[in-house]
Amino acid sequence: MRGADLRPGLVRGSNDLQHADLSDANLDQSNLERVKGDNAKLRHASLREANLKKAILPNSDLRGADLSGADLRSAFLSGADLAGANIGQAKLNGARLIGAILVGVDLHSADLRDAAGLGLAKLPADVQKIVREHVVWSESGGTHGSRAVLESADLHGVDLAGIYLSGAGMKGCNFSNAVLTGAQFVLTDLGEANLSNTDLRRADLSGAQMAGANLARAKLSCAVLKPVELRDPKGNLTGKMAATNLRGAILTDADIKNVDWSEAVGAEGLGTVK
């Protein structure tokens, strides 16, 4: 179907484009509402004024695609590569763009109200690609993509609310003054990271390694710090548990309301602070 002209549109309800190659295809004004297009190849495809409302397109290749005027409200685009795409006048209200690559994308004329994951677009291109590959790696169970290793990276002040970095190597990262509400850091190595003044409300830090991290004045209200059962290389549960490790962490003036510390290592005596 590569390069095909599929106008005036496809029929809603029969759209399964998972792993399909529609590179350079003409899909202008097509009805692709709720389409399932995991890992679809839509590089340089023309999707002008297409209906992609609630489309499911994780890890899809949309590099250079023309999405001008398209309706992408509540679309799932986590891990998608949108480098160089045209989203002028597109509707992306409520779209999920966690881990999506947005290098060279002009966001100014698109409707991005309540869209999640846009903070990544402000990061350097190489960091965007690392995060995107990490999302692919995680969702594929390690068969595709690659684990993110961003040790000592300077990410201060970024807005990465809802970002998925579970299992990543973030030792020594500078996240000071960053917005990480609802972020996923399960089993992430955040040892010696600078998380001072960081907003980690509702973040999942289960099993995270945070020994020596600086959490001074961080907002941790409702963060999750539960132990996680480890898996072997084949994905089987091992019965071994990894607790959130806070040994030597600095918690001076941190907001720790509604956090259960009882199962975290290095936080003995804190219990549940309400």
Q: Are residues 157 and 91 in the same domain?
A: no
d(CA 30, CA 6): 8
In this predicted structure, what is the pLDDT of residue 25? Answer: 93
Q: How far apart are CA 96 and CA 17, in angstroms?
A: 19
Q: Which two tokens stand for residue 61?
A: 């290749």
Give the DSSP letter of residue 75: -
CA distance 234 to 240: 15
Residue 53 located in a structural domain: yes
- In this structure, the answer to whether residues 225 and 188 fall within a common structural domain is yes
Q: Which two tokens stand for residue 129?
A: 């690609």
Nearest one of 97, 197, 102 to 157, comparing CA atoms? 197
Structure tokens at 79: 């891990």
- Which CATH number do you get for residue 196? 2.160.20.80
Residue 12 has pLDDT above 50, yes or no: no
Q: How many CA atoms lie within 13 A of 155 on its CB side?
A: 30
Contact 240, 259 (CB under 8 A): no
pLDDT tops 50 at residue 123: yes
Cβ atoms of 171 and 195 closer than 8 Å: no
**Degrees (nearest 5) of the Cα angle 183, 42, 91?**
60
Does residue 218 fall inside a structural domain?
yes
Query: Which pLDDT band holds residue 269 (cuts at 50, 70, 90)?
Result: low
114 lies in the same domain as 156: no
The two tokens of residue 122 are 């402000």
Q: Are residues 175 and 208 in the same domain?
A: yes
Q: How many angstroms separate the CA atoms of 145 and 101, rounded?
A: 14
- What pLDDT sits at residue 119? 78
> Does residue 2 carry a pLDDT above 80?
no
Residues 11 and 83 in one domain: yes
Residues 156, 66 within the same domain: no
Beta partners for residue 260, in sequence order: 272
Domain boundary among 108, 124, 140: 124
pLDDT for res 141: 79
pLDDT tens digits, one per residue of 206-260: 999 999 999 999 999 999 999 999 988 877 888 999 999 999 999 999 999 899 9
Handedness of CA 177, 175, 113, 204 (dihedral sign): negative
Reduced to 3 states, what is the DSSP secondary structure of residue 141? coil
Higher pLDDT, 196 or 5: 196
Report the amino acid identity of residue 10.
Answer: L
Domain span at residue 172 reads 149-274
How much of the chain exceeds pLDDT 90, in percent?
63
Question: What pLDDT does 270 receive?
Answer: 57
Q: Is residue 141 part of a domain?
A: no
pTM over 0.75: no
**Residue 107's pLDDT band (boundaries 50, 70, 90)?**
confident
pLDDT score of 4 more than 70: no
The overall average pLDDT reported for the chain is 88
**Residue among 105, 167, 95, 94 nearest 131 (CA):** 167
pLDDT confidence of 14, banded at 50, 70, 90? very low
Q: Do residue 108 and residue 31 come from a single domain? A: yes
Domains of the chain: total: 2
In this structure, is residue 135 part of a structural domain? no
In terms of domains, do 79 and 165 share one? no
d(CA 146, CA 168): 10
pLDDT in tens, 165-193: 999 999 999 999 999 999 999 999 999 99
Inside any domain, residue 91: yes
Average pLDDT for 146-162: 91
